[in-house]
Amino acid sequence: MTNQPDPTRFAHVTDWVFDLDNTLYPHHSNLFSQIDVKMTAYVSELLHLPREEARKVQKELYREYGTTLKGLMERYHVEPDDFLQKVHDIDYNWLQPDPALGHAIRALPGRKFIFTNGNRSHAERAARQLGILDHFEDIFDIVAAGMTPKPAAESYDLFVALHTIAGANAVMFEDLARNLRVPKRLGMTTVLIVPKNFEPTFSEIWEQDLGEEDDVDYVTDDLTAFLTSVVA
């Protein structure tokens, strides 16, 4: 594993797949914190719980089902459209346009996709605010995945089938190592995005994803620099 990619190892790549939250936009923007607060409020209102208890339930659902929404659907029969609309009612001005990232993505040979556990509207608004939306072939969201979130294999199977992606010719960028497990098994090159200037020991990198280190080929805290280096 290295932060210094060899461009020859990416020369065969025809499909570039990017997670959205804390991947295409940086962790330090803190945009997802707005969504997190909205999710807690949703659980609080739905279950008539004080905020502290609602947050415990929310995190329990996330750990057990992969997303808060999946847990709410399974346990409480929540309508996904209502949840997705309310939790993504946030201020996208927290994101700064990133022309350097846009240039790096545009320069990549082949197709580019956003693959997110959020919904299409959220991905479109975030990517538009960053100034990178027009560089993507498609957005594969939680609705396209049949409400089955990453890291479930079914979600990736639907994505790969829809866009006829050969794993060996694809690379996936993610901020969660567990979401790279299936792509690695499909033959994709995998890149873990960590927060800027994040300098932990390797054991700390995997603190939230124990046992996933074998599924990650590269780790970087600078997506733009990484993309620029692989097409140099």
- 3-class secondary structure, 218: strand
Q: Specify the DSSP class assigned to residue 155.
A: H
How would DSSP label each residue in 175-210?
A: S-GGGGHHHHHTT-EEEEE--TT----HHHHTTTST
pLDDT tens by residue, 84-131: 999 989 999 999 999 999 999 999 999 999 999 999 999 999 999 999
Q: Are strands 111-115 and 189-193 parallel, antiparallel or unpaired?
A: unpaired
CA-based torsion, 141, 146, 148, 153: positive or negative: negative
- What is the pTM for the complete model shown? 0.88
Whole-angstrom distance, CA of residue 34 vs CA of residue 30 = 8
Question: Please, are residues 10 and 231 in contact by the beta-carbon 8 Å criterion?
Answer: yes
- Could you report the per-residue pLDDT of 21-57, keeping only the tens digit for each? 999 998 888 888 898 999 999 999 999 999 999 999 9
Could you give the 3-state DSSP secondary structure of residue 115? strand
